[in-house]
Amino acid sequence: MLLLHYNFRRFLDALDELNPAQIKHAQTKIRDLRQKTEAISEIEARTNQEHKCPFCGDERRQKWGRTRTKVQRYRCTGYQKTYSGRTRSAIGRIHRPDLFMVALRDMLGTSTPQPVRKLARQLGLNKYTIWRWRMLVFSIIENSNVAASFSGIIEADETYQRESRKGSREWVRHFADPRSVPQPPRPRWEDFTTKGLKMMRGLSRWQLPILTVADRGGSHLFRRLPNRKSATMERAMKPLVPGDAVLCSDGGNGYKDLAAAHSLEHFVVGSKPGTRVLAGCYHIQNVNSLHARYGKFIEPFCGPATKNLNGYIRWLEVRLAGIRPADVIRDS
């Protein structure tokens, strides 16, 4: 320990001798090290909170060295098995927890998340690794509870996301075996040009509705609906709107039916600019601004595959709720 202390003093003294280029180099190195230690301390915080063996739940334990990634390892007094903060967690098998933390911070930070390729290049990793990590984070946040409850004036509206079968093999399978694999229901985008198919204007049936609800207290949610039927809308809205709430929406039948069925006070406002405000406080501007945020968030992903759309919606909610990387690690 004394020697370490002595070395450290010498190290600090040596810093004075560095030239500007070396200082820059040292800065990068220290930043990398800090990322690493921060990752480790957040993973360790997970065991320190839990204090339990992930195998048998016993709280008695001994410190038992450190793992290859320098995380504190413990040994359970009961069964004598060793574990660390990552054991049996969703992030347990990640080889570079430090870089995972960087990617997680990028996902949850205040600035726009970086494209997978760019982040992969920056971290010196394969793009598929970053992609897998993103999907892993989706699976962790899928179950975390950002329960929204609504009261008072409640705004509701839908936005739409074009259905995407990105990555789907349906046409490939069809062409490989046309007899047993029927033609998929939707033309490929290239068919619209090569076969001269007409693009539908406005809302085609390939536009998926996303319901957005917000109240004036700041609660909000996005929810993908399976279809555009008014019954679906009513079913989705019903548990969100208490009986004494005031509903503001456009003139969609789902909202009208909901208001009628539960005798809610209902203000119908136009969705076109200029008609959005009805008598002062009755408007749907909060959901409209949420739609704008959704649009801005989703745009760089160039139409995410529909099978992942719920994950992206959840990701946006988690970002808006200000959930921190440490919370995600704890829930993993």
Q: Can you tell me which residue has the tokens 């909610």?
A: 317
At 318, which helix (H) or strand (E)?
Answer: helix 309-320
Q: Looking at residues 34 to 53 of the shown chain, list those that interact with Zn ion (rule: CB under 5 A).
A: 53
For the purposes of burial, counting CB atoms within 10 Å of the CB of 280, is it exposed (0-12), middle (13-18) or buried (19 or more)?
exposed
Shortest CB 157 distance to Zn ion, Å: 51
| CB burial readout 90-107, b (16+ within 10 A) else e | ebeebebbbbbbbbbebb
What DSSP state is assigned to residue 53? -
Residue 237 sits in the site that holds Zn ion (CB under 5 A): no
Residue 297 sits in the site that holds Zn ion (CB under 5 A): no
> Which C-beta is closer to Zn ion: that of 53 or that of 214?
53
Residue 229's alpha-carbon distances to 148, 155, 274, in angstroms, are 24, 19, 27
Residue 56 sits in the site that holds Zn ion (CB under 5 A): yes
How many angstroms separate the CA atoms of 19 and 25, rounded?
10
Q: In this structure, how many other beta carbons lie within 10 angstroms of the beta carbon of residue 27?
A: 10
How many angstroms separate the CA atoms of 221 and 214, rounded?
7
Residue 64 sits in the site that holds Zn ion (CB under 5 A): no
**3-class SS of residue 50:** helix
Shortest CB 29 distance to Zn ion, Å: 38
Which residues are registered as beta bridge partners of 63?
Answer: 74
Closest listed residue to residue 91, CA positions, set 258, 321, 328, 280:
328
> Which C-beta is closer to Zn ion: that of 81 or that of 223?
81
Of 16-24, 73-81, 188-196, 315-323, which part binds Zn ion (CB under 5 A)? Answer: 73-81
Residue selected from 43, 76, 156, 247 as contacting Zn ion according to rule CB under 5 A: 76
> Which C-beta is closer to Zn ion: that of 79 or that of 175?
79
Query: How many residues bind Zn ion, per CB under 5 A?
Result: 7
Residue 79 sits in the site that holds Zn ion (CB under 5 A): yes
Shortest CB 58 distance to Zn ion, Å: 4
How many angstroms separate the CA atoms of 204 and 57, rounded?
53
What DSSP state is assigned to residue 238? G
Shortest CB 46 distance to Zn ion, Å: 16
Shortest CB 45 distance to Zn ion, Å: 20
How many angstroms separate the CA atoms of 49 and 101, rounded?
19
Shortest CB 84 distance to Zn ion, Å: 13
Shortest CB 51 distance to Zn ion, Å: 12
Shortest CB 40 distance to Zn ion, Å: 22
Contact pattern from residue 90 through residue 129 relative to Zn ion, giving x for each residue in contact according to CB under 5 A and a dash for the rest:
----------------------------------------
Of 71-79, 231-239, 264-272, 275-283, which part binds Zn ion (CB under 5 A)? Answer: 71-79
Residue 131 sits in the site that holds Zn ion (CB under 5 A): no
Tell me the two tokens of residue 72. Answer: 């504190």
Residue 58 sits in the site that holds Zn ion (CB under 5 A): yes
Non-local (6+) Cβ contacts of 249 within 8 A are 155, 156, 157, 255, 266, 267, 268, 269, 284
Residue selected from 38, 41, 55, 257 as contacting Zn ion according to rule CB under 5 A: 55
> Which C-beta is closer to Zn ion: that of 79 or that of 189?
79
> Which C-beta is closer to Zn ion: that of 74 or that of 294?
74
The binding site for Zn ion (CB under 5 A) comprises 53, 55-56, 58, 76, 78-79
